[in-house]
A and B are shown apart, each in its own frame.
Chain A
């Protein structure tokens, strides 16, 4: 493996790990459920994507790489569905979202 690829994959893994931590930190910091979901979606998209990309660069062209791509695709297709189901259930259950001042929730 060339040095450039090695460095690139190192950067990807470091950045992915950082985004995962940022997303989890947002999960703690955000004030209500709906905004927490936004924070978690950072972990679920960029964190996962960059970490998988970093591992993909390490794996090279092999079946391992194919499986990593499969995990990534599965994630990009399936995770929004789970998030959407969660948020929809929360709203239909009557969990009122915290809105910015001036935004009327009765408008919805």
Chain B
């Protein structure tokens, strides 16, 4: 039963990868990368149950955090060209 869940996740992963390759804009690719990250996190949790090693859940937790940070970091890099200079956005909007 976990194998069935893992298989469904693999299919979804393949579809998301197709979108990441097709693009066409950088935002499409980022959204696809975000989805891949989500599915990879679920996959880790599934594998933990499949192999009877619940330590995998800790990895899934960390992966979920990294997924969020990764998306926002790439977004920021794409927008400003570097990761420094906090508050640039806030200044512009006031």
Binding site for B on A (CB under 8 A): 10, 13-14, 16-18, 20-21, 23-25, 27-28, 33, 36-37, 40, 43-44, 47-48, 51-52, 54-55, 58-59, 64, 67-68, 70-71, 74-75, 78-79, 81-83, 85-86, 89-90, 93, 95
B residues 50-64 near A (Cβ < 8 Å) are: 54, 57-58, 60-61, 64
Binding site for A on B (CB under 8 A): 1-2, 4-5, 7-9, 11-13, 15-16, 18-19, 22, 25, 27-28, 30-32, 34-35, 38-39, 41-42, 45-46, 49, 54, 57-58, 60-61, 64-65, 67-68, 71-72, 75, 78-79
Residue of B nearest to A50 (CB): B5
Q: What total count of A-B pairs have CB within 8 Å? A: 134
**Can you report 12 A-B residue pairs in the complex whose CB atoms are below 8 A from each other?**
A10-B1, A14-B8, A18-B8, A20-B42, A23-B35, A28-B22, A33-B28, A58-B49, A79-B34, A82-B71, A90-B25, A95-B25
User: Does B9 contact A17, Cβ atoms closer than 8 Å?
Assistant: yes
- What is the CA–CA distance of A21 and B31 in the complex, to the nearest angstrom? 15
User: Does B35 contact A27, Cβ atoms closer than 8 Å?
Assistant: yes
- What is the CA–CA distance of A99 and B8 in the complex, to the nearest angstrom? 32
User: Does A36 contact B19, Cβ atoms closer than 8 Å?
Assistant: yes
- What is the CA–CA distance of A43 and B41 in the complex, to the nearest angstrom? 12
Residue of A nearest to B39 (CB): A20
User: Does B71 contact A86, Cβ atoms closer than 8 Å?
Assistant: yes
By secondary structure, the B interface counts as helix
A17-B4, A75-B64 are contacts. A43–B27 as well, Cβ < 8 Å? no
